[in-house]
Amino acid sequence: MSENTNTGTLPVQEFEYKAEMKQLLDLIVHSLYTHPEIYLRELISNASDALSKVRFNALTDQEIIDREAALAIRISIDPKELTFVIEDSGVGMTEEELIANLGTVAKSGTLGFMQALKEQQKELDGNLIGQFGVGFYSVFMVTDEVTVETRSARPDSDGYRWRSSGQGTYTIEKIDKAERGTKISFKLKETSKEFAEEYRVEQIVKKYSNFVDFPIYLGEKQLNSITALWQRSKSELKDEEVNEFYKFIANDYQDPLDYLPVSVEGMVTFKALLFLPTEAPPEMLYRQGDLENRGPQLYVKKVLIQQECRDLLPEYLRFIAGVVDTEDLSLNVSREIVQSSPVMAKIRQILTGKILGWFETLAQEQPEKFKTFYKAFGPVIKIGLNTDFTNRDKLIELLRFESTKTEVDEYVTLKEYSERMGADQKEIYYHSGSSRAQLLAHPNLEYFQKMGIEVLLLSDPVDVFVIPSIHEYDKKPLKSIEKADIDFSSQKKDAAEPLAENLLKPILQLFRETLGEGIEDVIESHRLVSSPVTLVSGKNGIDSQMEKMMKMMKSDLPPGKRILEVNTSHPIIRNLAGMYMANEHNPLIRTAMKQLYEGALLLEGGLDSTTEFLSRMNELIEAATLSR
């Protein structure tokens, strides 16, 4: 095999894979692969990680063997024998690590991977493999048996040989291995013989791994160009390469939506390459914006210090992936020091500004991309509004809303709204509810629609917490159209005459008596056009949608009292007034009033029980059919 020999004193030990592992290997070996070439990307990625670790250990003065060894990845192939060998001088593995890393399903992600395969009945392609980090095993796509020889960089380590044909068992034996690091060798299957061809290996390395930070040699020839991507200027970056880099560091299977190279010199010096994912990471969806454990990678003088550095960005921006590399921190700083360092605070501040500027540029120059971004990450911007007060103004500009003047799936900014509102309009109006359709059907909109006044339609549940906190934009107060103190004096009454004052008063009073405690007041409406009544909030009351949200969180909240507005030009109200004049004790009047009120509640989703509503409805139908 090689210069390494079994020491003879220890037997070859055989181990069995755990059950899930067998399933996984079976899938990999027997499924159809669309991209077997990615096995090489995975092996290089593992080697590169191992080299990063050893470089970090060396620089932080940890004890390691072969301190002077060159950090490199070496590939050798034999097109006649179809052998393939990839070797690195990285951290290597101890026996325990071998068992833990290559013998068990270490990651919960792996099980998720199998689940996804089953559910989607997808072909096992390279993208899926990369996404779930089952990297190493992808080698079984191109070979029937793999040998891993490894020696840990820890002092006093021994060498080990791991061997498996991916059939349920693997063996481990102790060997003499002179240098630290890992050597993986195998014979390619006849169907995969292309991977023993020099041009093919070079092609794959260039495609997937050109950015790897350590030299990759094929024989004597170095295949990659190792200037770290984030050290290059924008013009030296190729989309394809940058996209591969993103997938490599972010464990994403999709291309990023966009990327941003950053280079800063001055108070602090750093370079960064940041990525906007195309889709929100899963924890953002199921834990509502919780990006606790994310963040870009932190490099110090080109050495990877932290995989997911939380301190580089404020929490709401931690969905941004990438690399930040600075000269201004010392290599052997501890996590705690990194956290509290003024350098970090400065970098965070600069990056936040750059990122928000980047979003703004996207919005201006690539509106379609921005839309995709906003759909996935809009909620994050809103969270930022309530947490990042220094950048509040910038974040407000990024907000997008549907409105009564936008088509479905189109958005307006506060700026656009405020620029196109009429000269005599003093306020920015919004209306919140559960969906666009429900909002558009609401009677409170009638006046605004009739007068051609734009109203923002807020159907994202977070909106009711965010929007009221903005208070005003461009000196124009933001106001819920539910508020009772909107000035409708410009409303010109046409068609039907409103009720005369002497009838109006007793009718409103009867409404009050009939509805009793449940309601704050009953007043004449100036906003209604075609509906008889509607509910609004008092001057200091909260928006109904907000109340609904608060109730969801704290169920014993007493219901806020609403104001019932009555459209005194509406035929129903006029008829009720007529009935009242004829016989003020007619019970039908009160039944109708209760029904109108509960109908308004029902429309807003605020009617708790429909029992009485329905029996009253039958009573009214009976009365209506009786006279025929």
Residues that bind ligand ADP (CB under 6 A): 42, 46-47, 50, 88, 90-93, 101-102, 133-136, 182
d(CA 166, CA 150): 19
Instruction: Report the nearest approach of ligand ADP to the CB of residue 50 (Å).
Output: 3
Instruction: Report the nearest approach of ligand ADP to the CB of residue 35 (Å).
Output: 16
Instruction: Report the nearest approach of ligand ADP to the CB of residue 182 (Å).
Output: 4
Structure tokens at 10: 């220890």
Position closest to ligand ADP via CB: 135
Nearest CA to 341 out of 326, 324, 329, 352 is that of: 329
Instruction: Report the nearest approach of ligand ADP to the CB of residue 181 (Å).
Output: 7
| CB nearer ligand ADP, residue 47 or residue 268 | 47
Distances, alpha carbon 41 to alpha carbons 127, 137, 359, in Å: 11, 12, 32
Order of all β-strands in the sheet with 476-480:
402-403, 455-458, 428-432, 476-480, 472-473
- The answer to whether the beta carbons of residues 138 and 42 sit under 8 Å apart is yes
Angle at 261 between CA 257 and CA 266, to 5 degrees: 150
| CB nearer ligand ADP, residue 41 or residue 400 | 41
Residue keyed to tokens 């970056």: 237
Residue keyed to tokens 């024989």: 219
What is the 3-class SS of 181-206, one letter each residue? EEEEEEEECHHHHHHHCHHHHHHHHH
| CB nearer ligand ADP, residue 83 or residue 591 | 83
Nearest CA to 150 out of 177, 185, 186 is that of: 177
| CB nearer ligand ADP, residue 92 or residue 289 | 92
| CB nearer ligand ADP, residue 93 or residue 212 | 93
Instruction: Report the nearest approach of ligand ADP to the CB of residue 86 (Å).
Output: 8
The b-or-e profile of 454-466 (16+ CB within 10 A means b, else e) is bbbbbbeebbbeb
Nearest CA to 319 out of 261, 392, 383 is that of: 383
Instruction: Report the nearest approach of ligand ADP to the CB of residue 47 (Å).
Output: 5
Instruction: Report the nearest approach of ligand ADP to the CB of residue 97 (Å).
Output: 7
Order of all β-strands in the sheet with 73-78:
13-16, 169-175, 159-164, 143-151, 181-188, 83-88, 73-78, 216-218, 221-222
Instruction: Report the nearest approach of ligand ADP to the CB of residue 109 (Å).
Output: 8
| CB nearer ligand ADP, residue 152 or residue 352 | 152
Instruction: Report the nearest approach of ligand ADP to the CB of residue 96 (Å).
Output: 11
d(CA 613, CA 598): 7
Instruction: Report the nearest approach of ligand ADP to the CB of residue 124 (Å).
Output: 15
Instruction: Report the nearest approach of ligand ADP to the CB of residue 42 (Å).
Output: 6
Tell me which amino acid residue 265 is.
Answer: E
| CB nearer ligand ADP, residue 67 or residue 287 | 67
- The answer to whether the beta carbons of residues 567 and 522 sit under 8 Å apart is no
| CB nearer ligand ADP, residue 37 or residue 543 | 37
| CB nearer ligand ADP, residue 181 or residue 295 | 181
d(CA 428, CA 412): 12
| CB nearer ligand ADP, residue 92 or residue 295 | 92
| CB nearer ligand ADP, residue 86 or residue 596 | 86
The b-or-e profile of 362-399 (16+ CB within 10 A means b, else e) is bbeeeeeebbbbbebbbbbbbbbbeebeebeebbbebb
